[in-house]
Amino acid sequence: MTSIPVRRTLGAVLTLVLAVPPAAGCALVSTAVGAPAGDTSRGVEPADSVERAAPPWVWPTGSRQVLRGWEQPADDYSAGHRGLDVAAPIGTTAVAVADGTVTFAGQVGGRGVVSIDHGGGLVSTLDSVVPAVAAGSQVTRGEAVGTVAAGHCTASEACLHLGVRLQDRYVDPLPYLPAADWPVLLPESAWPG
């Protein structure tokens, strides 16, 4: 067995990607961290810039209230929550989060599901819905694809589950969306009542 020496330098350029890999419709500000300011001799931007992906999606129901967030499973077969549960009364219109092609619209385990391929290996899934589209349909961001139904969440605490797969692996949907409405806890002394 031959060992290969590894050369380590303090001046190595570390490229950071914040949020998520670029998706269809993302605007990127391409940069690198670690190069001296103004040093473009190695094809990198100044050290004070960072690569960012702008959220290209819309919330699927208009609500930004997350009832249950993403819970990373330990592996592909472990327990976890592979998506977001967004508060939405039954009958609320569910929309395509981004432009794409409907790859599935129908029942899975007794629940209505709509899956949309956004290109580049990125797929969104809405669960539980009454589909208003068919497989093969082209949809645009914000276009109605169904209505919220009971199934993933109970009728008394209705929600729409948004799942995202990138290259066939589930990923957190939140970085693809504009900021969520999170509850803000104030100290008791700040309560006006």
User: Contact 133/104 with Cβ under 8 angstroms?
Assistant: no
- Domain extent listing, the chain: 10-54, 66-176
Greater confidence (189 vs 108) lies with 108
pLDDT, residue 74, reads: 85
Residue 120 pLDDT: 95
CB 120 within 8 A of CB 95: no
User: 């103004």: which residue's tokens?
Assistant: 38
What's this model's pTM, rounded to 2 decimal places? Answer: 0.67
Write down the pLDDT at residue 155. Answer: 73
Q: Select the highest-mean-pLDDT range: 10-14, 37-41, 73-77.
A: 73-77
Distance CA 82, CA 37 (A): 40
Q: Which superfamily is assigned to 66-176 in CATH?
A: Glucose Permease (Domain IIA) (2.70.70.10)
Q: Model confidence over 122-140: pLDDT tens digits?
A: 999 999 899 999 999 999 9
Dihedral (CA of 77, 78, 79, 81) sign: negative
